[in-house]
Amino acid sequence: MENYTICNCMQVTRFDVEEAMHDHDNFGSVEEAFKEVQAQTQCSTGCGGCYSKILDAISDVMHGY
Question: What CATH number does the domain containing 49 carry?
Answer: 1.10.10
pLDDT of residue 24: 74
| Residue 65 or residue 42, greater confidence | 42
Q: Provide the domain limits for residue 25.
A: 5-62
The whole model's pTM is what? 0.89
Q: Please tell me the distance from the alpha carbon of residue 34 to that of residue 57, in angstroms, as a whole number.
A: 10
Cα distances (Å, whole numbers) of residue 57 to 19, 22, 52, 53: 12, 13, 9, 6
pLDDT tens for each residue of 6-50: 999 999 999 999 999 987 767 889 999 999 999 999 999 999 999
pLDDT of residue 28: 84
pLDDT of residue 6: 98
Running DSSP on this structure, what letter comes out for residue 20? H
Domain count, the chain: 1
